[in-house]
Structure 1
Amino acid sequence: MSNTPEQSQLGKASSYADQYDASLLFPIPRQPKRDEIGVTGRPVFLGADLWTAFEVSWLNPKGKPQVAIAHFTIPAESTHIVESKSFKLYLNSFNNSRFESHDEVKARLRTDVSAAIWHGGPVMASAGVKLLLPEQFDAEPVHELDGLNLDRLDIECTRYQPAPELLSANTLEAPVTETLVSHLLKSNCLVTGQPDWGSVQISYSGHQIDQAGLLQYIVSFRNHNEFHEQCVERIFMDIWTRCKPTQLTVYARYTRRGGLDINPWRTSAPGALPPNVRTARQ
């Protein structure tokens, strides 16, 4: 039987294990939500989910606590996501466990997360893991998403559930290539209803998308209950279907909760991952 969000620890009182326990990771299949947006076969998009964990700690062989920031890269082709609260519980299980080195911790993280995102199937693409130690913290930049800011537009907003009919493109003018950004993305946790705040960057080539309609569409997610990864895939598919660009990339950076941020990136063409650089709100 597939795991469902309602079966996870979301919204429930949880005891925090402080000894390493990989079984705490709770995988949720991607496909049911992809079925809702018409992705029933091979997706038209590629991509990854970029996670940052700010609360990572373990004990060295002498029992001295160690701390780090961890960057995770979860391939979008994996069959499962990992529910975020379970991810936090899993990371906390390292707190009172001893490891020989940070390399051992990194290897354990990669093995466990890779197994979870394929949930019993063969690991077709491992999760990427990068551990930043305290001497590297000062080099971590803060930078906003590049692009033309849609939020400058003085628009009226009346829709607060996803409304793809707000999207349109001008087919009478020459195609363009542009990057648009909004900081007004908000959705809610699928299970608890808690708010998820984000910024979104949309880069495309094709007929010019109506900017006012696009901003109203982004705002329309405000009362929508869905996980971060699912929202970004919904945005991608709505723009892809309604505006028919020749190339499209959607990248969202959500503010952290429980020491974790999740930043899904979906694109129609192979390319380098965006830098996992946090924004001011993160």
Structure 2
Amino acid sequence: MINFNGTILAEEANILTQNRGFLYGDAVFETVKIRKGVILFLEDHYFRLMASMRVVRMEIPMNFTMEYFEEQLLLVVKANNISEAARVRITVYRNDGGYYLPKKNTVSFLVHGTALEVNEYLFDTNVYEVDLFKDFYITKQLLSSIKSTNRLLNTAASIYASENGLDNCLLLNDSKNVVEAIQGNVFMVLGTKLITPPVSEGCLNGVMRKQILALAKKIENLEVVEAVISPFDLQKADELFITNVIKGVQPITKYRKKSFQTKVSCQLVELLNEQIAL
């Protein structure tokens, strides 16, 4: 028997009592954007999920091919009639059993999705203010670069942003350098350079990050660089923006007393929409 919210129930009545994703954060996930029945950047999402599973020593089922991955995600959007524009998440968790040491490394998965209002990437012209989150720090290690369900730091930072009237926070690593935003990678334009932290600094190896690095090389007179960004660099920047696969590119317009232009982020949104329309 278990106590669930003050009520004694049979243990079998609550599926979370043995779920390793719930008990230990023993799970990894991918969030994809679906446009007109097509998973954007399918290959990148699939291989990142496979890499994440290998990093945490999960057993990858023989049938878990890219075609199977695609099929399972599309089943959900078709069942919910949201194929035109959807956000879909797949969470892969190690099966029940054991404590810190699992009894087995086999996995199960859960897919769920929600409708999006539009299927293209929009350029946001609203004021978007950020500040640093300094309560906790990201460590410079391989686990920081994958999408695991251990997201307490991001949750705490989201609450901090809400309490302080911010739209987002920039997260720091244990060297006190800027790594990423709460839900995306961060880019900085400084003169003729577009700079983003390398994955070795502890940032997520973002799917949209990869797309932006490639697309930015098409912009004339813009040098694309992966380099450390310190908090002091933010005050010198001409432009800051955040990237993730659902939003695309989110311009930052204000950091403390500094305001930023949005020229490069606007160009990148245009290039991104051209790419997904092909």
TM-score (norm 2): 0.26
More helix by share: 2
TM-score (norm 1): 0.26
